[in-house]
Structure 1
């Protein structure tokens, strides 16, 4: 009899468990079936989060980081507008300003969205990257992100006559030069920086930048391009020095001996003054 009772009890328990499991599955299916996509931000303002963390600010920032990643994935799955990416970023950075990964994540998530980003959205993302680059001046990746986002994402979407265009172009180049000096970004970044400086009329800075970066580059093709450009710039620098010296020479001749031909004045003038500016620039 005892064995029979145990058998019956076992069968009953197994039946109950099977029923619970079946009902649990149905309940879950019904719950998931009633769920709809909603782009809602539930967290309180950042200043409240600082109080609610009870001193565990970094731990709470880590939890929000996990939620932010899930949110970003959901937005892509549902082709959302990622409207709250900056809310998540502000909350995490208020709790932990040294959370470096957040700066780069907001800079990416605010630009590369499922539905495309407006220039206002990109500018907000760039502002976060600026903050990160300012807080971590020796981080080449943050400098590269800031410069590349300005140059390759924001500028192409601005009107040609935008008053801030030239300033942004110069700012993006400064960030990318810093990235190159810190060893971040691709090898071709050096030549891109040099080209940008040339377009801005800053050939002296272009020369210094190429000389500074030459030893850091490992790609032989890029090194060869730098060598060619350095030769051109040095020749150009010498030609410019020669032209300036010649103009100064003519100016002094007209002031001192306007009646004397240049060929004769060359022998009469002070030999040191007559050759100022003609030194080898290298």
Structure 2
């Protein structure tokens, strides 16, 4: 049974008007919103203010990185594990500065410390050579650091084509345009100069041109080495075109022969057309004939192996194995002729034995 007092209290609670915020509560809410907005703006602006002194002040991250001897002692002989930890720390350092000031003052210290502990981590060299070019203006100094990391990788892993490709890319597509631009600017000034100024500009232009030639030659060497190594991603058509631009037609032809069997199917026709454009139609026809013989006679073997085995027309193994003895005797006779004195071939329509001048005397 519900008491009258409780029923009246329930009725009073349901019919009471909703409470409204007082002017003091409204003021507090408005002030809180304003302070939150101003705090957000100030925090965003403070990040920009902090970048100004960070450009001229050194970071304290190196405090957490002891020297190589101390690191080797701290790892208790487990050097690869310590190198991996430093590699992870280098990743964190790079990402931190990549999204802040983009100043990587101690990246080299992290890389060299990891290399000192574990020089057999090839991914460390590749990562350093690649990421040192990111997040900052690429100039000759940065490209030199990238090439130095790649050369360290080559010294340890000479069979990795990625390091050769990276050096060649930096040389041809980054350094070469800069040298070419400076050379053109100096050539323009040279046309208007006279006397001693002209002589100085001429010397500088000659040095830049020689440096560019050496850079192009080194680029071809690095790209060629990379293309010959397993797992290479060098486009063979691009490499052949680089040789053609340097007027190295014979080298471009020889390189096409070497790379044709390993080239992707879509790139082979382009290589053949390129040979025809540089006047090597005979070589293009020869490569097409080899490709057709491979498809017709031995499509079940790789084309590189087919080049080693040869086609059915060029093999010396007889089709009838009963004639194997005759084939061996012919091979021995040919070998004896090569190792003996100069033979004299008797002119006759029938086959005649090969005799030396001493054997023919009575």
Shorter-chain TM-score category? 0.5 to 0.7
Deviations 1:38-70 (A, max 9, x none): 633232333443344332211111000000001
Q: Which runs of 5+ in 2 are unaligned?
A: 1-42, 184-204, 284-362
Question: Greater shift after overlay, 138-147 or 57-66?
Answer: 138-147
Deviations 1:9-56 (A, max 9, x none): xxxxxxxxxxxxxxxxxxxxxxxx999786332323334433443322
Does residue 1:190 correspond to 2:236, yes or no? yes
Does residue 1:151 correspond to 2:172, yes or no? yes
Q: Secondary structure at the match of 1:80?
A: coil
Higher relative contact order (CA 8 A, sep 6+): 1
Does residue 1:57 correspond to 2:104, yes or no? no
**Quick one: which of 88, 92, 102 aligns to 1:80?**
102
Q: 1:152 to 1:83 in 2, by over 3 A?
A: farther
Inter-partner Cα distance in structure 2 for 1:117 and 1:84 = 18
Structure 1 residue 101: deviation in Å? 0.6
**Quick one: which of 60, 64, 67 aligns to 1:45?**
67
Structure 1 residue 141: deviation in Å? 2.2
Q: Which 4+ residue blocks in structure 1 deviate beyond 4 angstroms? A: 33-38
Inter-partner Cα distance in structure 2 for 1:46 and 1:127 = 20
Q: How does 1:168-179 map to 2 (within 5 A)?
A: 168-179=215-226
Deviations 1:83-124 (A, max 9, x none): 222222111111111110111111112212x23133112101
Q: 1:155 to 1:85 in 2, by over 3 A?
A: farther
Structure 1 residue 129: deviation in Å? 0.3
Contact 1:104 1:129 in 2 (8 A): yes
Structure 1 residue 200: deviation in Å? 3.0
**Quick one: which of 269, 275, 285 aligns to 1:224?**
269
Question: Greater shift after overlay, 174-183 or 97-106?
Answer: 174-183
Contact 1:58 1:96 in 2 (8 A): yes
Q: 1:233 to 1:63 in 2, by over 3 A?
A: farther
Q: How does 1:111-130 map to 2 (within 5 A)?
A: 111-112=133-134, 114-130=135-151
Q: Secondary structure at the match of 1:122?
A: helix
Does residue 1:131 correspond to 2:152, yes or no? yes
**Quick one: which of 72, 85, 93 aligns to 2:115?**
93
TM-score with structure 2 setting the length: 0.50
Inter-partner Cα distance in structure 2 for 1:225 and 1:134 = 35
Contact 1:143 1:175 in 2 (8 A): yes
Does residue 1:215 correspond to 2:261, yes or no? yes
Q: How many residues align?
A: 201
TM-score with structure 1 setting the length: 0.63
Across the aligned residues of Structure 1 and Structure 2, the Cα RMSD in angstroms comes to 2.7
Q: 1:236 to 1:144 in 2, by over 3 A?
A: same
Inter-partner Cα distance in structure 2 for 1:85 and 1:191 = 37
Contact 1:141 1:184 in 2 (8 A): yes
